[in-house]
Amino acid sequence: MLFEKVKIPYSRTHLEIEIPKKNLIGVFESKVNEFKPEVAQEEIVCEALDNPIGSPSLEELVKNKTNMVIITSDHTRPVPSKITMPILLKYIRRSNPDIDIKILIATGFHRATTREELIDKFGEEIVENEKMIIHDSRDEDSLVKVGILPSGGELWLNKLAMETELLIAEGFIEPHFFAGFSGGRKSVLPGVAGTETVLANHCSEFIASEYARTGIIDNNPIHVDMLYGAEKANLAFILNVVINAEKDIISAFAGHSSKAHRAGCEFVLELSKVKNVNADIVITSNGGYPLDQNIYQSVKGMTAAEAACREGGTIIIASACNDGHGGESFYSNMANACCPREVIEKVLEIPRNETLPDQWEFQILARILDKYTVILVTDMCDPQMITSMHMKHAYTLQEALDMAFDMEGRDAKIAVIPDGVSVIVGDF
């Protein structure tokens, strides 16, 4: 029998598996990794800053300002801040050496970023010498109400973001499983928003929308809320990069928070689209570190497999999950239910203004588990945690594939999506 060896990202390394060629439909990857920029990463960033989209230059914006805030991503996002942040600071101080700069870590609804994680992301020099503040969505004293979202929820944002003379953000653009794409407006909502605001924006009604899917922003109710949040915060300028599987910058977009972001989304869509193949078994991952640190984040990779798998099929996802489940509400709502269908029915009855913590994540996981068998491959997480959340566990990809063959038959058609968070599956 002939086999094809494939590599799947896992933590900071890769897993390998040999798949019978008679079963393999194909290996589907984003063209991001084939895109070869002509200049170095630093030059890509500088070129974007020198040619802003729909906005004055960053140097013009910082002139005559006494203070500013830079929103940046937390430890769960692979934004290459060791490259981007020093360049941003250079451009700013070249134009206004005396401006007071605060760097606000957009944790959204995540846990606080540790000092070690900050150093890993930004480098010791920036952590030691810059003013860095970690947003806490639950700290009411650090928030201010600034309006009502189009969805009807209250918009609470970090006071530092609202009170500064100039607000900018750095981030990266990739497919996002319910906001359409990451980046741009997401730096504000959910990035530096209050708990109540994040919950309203991530309500069950919106998550259930056919437009709240990977690669879609038009008519996406979650995106509409996020745009409003960025506008109310007066997000004046963004620097968003696009990265490949090695986390290297291949393109960058700077300027107006909406116009530059949309240009970046169009670039990512063109490179990331993959045609639906309706496979019996789909093997994927959450892209390795840092996105596969917990089960919560790993739902993202599962949605790509969901879109490529026939209903009733089997999804295999390799994800380290060394940090556990990633959210107590996420875990308990899955583990305490008798089946995924019970979770779905419960969630759809919850009003928008009573959204539960992590509700969106267990709603999407339940949606997937209601129609597919999911086998989570890891040797860094308690198997009991995985099985209690209505998934199956395997220590290796081969073990998972053997389990899938037992369920789907030896003639099952297999699709491999090595990095589930990097592709947009659809009928293009």
- Give the pLDDT score at 427: 85
**What pairs with residue 67 in β-bridges?**
100
Is residue 181 in a domain? yes
Same domain, residue pair 97 and 225: yes
Contact assessment for residue 395 and residue 278, using Cβ atoms and an 8 Å cutoff? no
The answer to whether residue 27 scores a pLDDT higher than 90 is yes
Catalytic residue chosen out of the listed positions 75, 110, 135, 325:
110
Contact assessment for residue 371 and residue 305, using Cβ atoms and an 8 Å cutoff? no
Output the pTM of the full model: 0.87
- Give the pLDDT score at 411: 97
Contact assessment for residue 274 and residue 417, using Cβ atoms and an 8 Å cutoff? yes
Q: Where are the beta strands (DSSP E) in 235-276?
A: 235-243, 249-255, 273-275
Distance (Å) of CA 297 to CA 15, 219, 251, 364, 388: 19, 25, 25, 11, 17
Q: For 406-424, what is the mean pLDDT?
A: 96
Contact assessment for residue 351 and residue 322, using Cβ atoms and an 8 Å cutoff? no
**Residue 63 in tokens:** 């002139």
Same domain, residue pair 338 and 258: no
Last residue of a domain, one of 254, 271, 288: 271
- Give the pLDDT score at 381: 96
- Give the pLDDT score at 81: 97
Contact assessment for residue 133 and residue 222, using Cβ atoms and an 8 Å cutoff? no
Cα-based torsion angle of the residue sequence 394, 302, 310, 219 in order, rounded to the nearest 10 degrees: 170
Same domain, residue pair 295 and 153: no
Q: 393 an active-site residue?
A: no
Amino acid at 39: V
Is residue 34 in a domain? no
Catalytic residue chosen out of the listed positions 135, 176, 202, 261:
176
Nearest Cα neighbor of 254 from 34, 44, 8 is 44
Nearest Cα neighbor of 306 from 318, 297, 315, 317 is 315
- Give the pLDDT score at 111: 87
Quote the CA–CA distance of 426 and 214 in Å, as a whole number. 9
The answer to whether residue 78 scores a pLDDT higher than 90 is no
Is residue 240 in a domain? yes
Give me the CATH number covering residue 66: 3.40.50.11440
Quote the CA–CA distance of 163 and 161 in Å, as a whole number. 6
- Between helix 115-122 and helix 81-95 the angle, nearest 10°, is 70
Q: What is the pLDDT of residues 127-184, one digit of tens each?
A: 999 999 999 999 999 999 999 999 888 999 999 999 999 999 999 999 999 999 999 9
Bridging pattern class, strands 414-417 and 24-27: parallel
Same domain, residue pair 267 and 316: no
Instruction: State the residue for tokens 């968070």.
Output: 421
- Give the pLDDT score at 33: 85
Contact assessment for residue 215 and residue 428, using Cβ atoms and an 8 Å cutoff? no
Q: What is the pLDDT of residues 205-246, one digit of tens each?
A: 999 999 999 999 999 999 999 999 999 999 999 999 999 988
Last residue of a domain, one of 248, 271, 294: 271
Q: For 405-414, what is the mean pLDDT?
A: 98
Q: 110 an active-site residue?
A: yes
Q: For 299-305, what is the mean pLDDT?
A: 96
Q: What is the pLDDT of residues 87-111, one digit of tens each?
A: 999 999 999 999 999 999 999 988 8
Same domain, residue pair 102 and 237: yes
Tally of structural domains, the chain: 2
Quote the CA–CA distance of 332 and 388 in Å, as a whole number. 9
**What pairs with residue 377 in β-bridges?**
318, 394
Q: What is the pLDDT of residues 339-378, one digit of tens each?
A: 999 999 999 999 988 999 889 999 999 999 999 999 999 9
Same domain, residue pair 362 and 247: no
Is residue 36 in a domain? no
Same domain, residue pair 96 and 193: yes
Same domain, residue pair 174 and 47: yes
Is residue 35 in a domain? no
Q: Which long-range contacts (CB under 8 A, 24 or more apart) does 335-340 make?
A: 335/388, 335/389, 337/366, 337/390, 339/390, 340/365, 340/366, 340/367, 340/368, 340/369, 340/370, 340/390
Contact assessment for residue 169 and residue 188, using Cβ atoms and an 8 Å cutoff? yes
Is residue 376 in a domain? yes
Average pLDDT value for the chain:
96
- Give the pLDDT score at 136: 97
Q: What is the pLDDT of residues 46-65, one digit of tens each?
A: 999 999 999 999 999 999 99
The answer to whether residue 117 scores a pLDDT higher than 90 is yes
Give me the CATH number covering residue 356: 3.90.226.30
Same domain, residue pair 12 and 155: no
The answer to whether residue 76 scores a pLDDT higher than 90 is no
Last residue of a domain, one of 222, 237, 271: 271
Is residue 33 in a domain? no
The answer to whether residue 402 scores a pLDDT higher than 90 is yes
Q: For 180-208, what is the mean pLDDT?
A: 95
H or E segment at 304? helix 295-308
Same domain, residue pair 253 and 303: no
**Residue 334 in tokens:** 């899955």
Q: For 20-34, what is the mean pLDDT?
A: 94
Same domain, residue pair 249 and 377: no
Same domain, residue pair 250 and 339: no
Q: For 288-292, what is the mean pLDDT?
A: 90
Portion of the chain with pLDDT greater than 70, in percent: 100
Is residue 349 in a domain? yes
Range of the structural domain that residue 21 is part of: 3-28+277-426
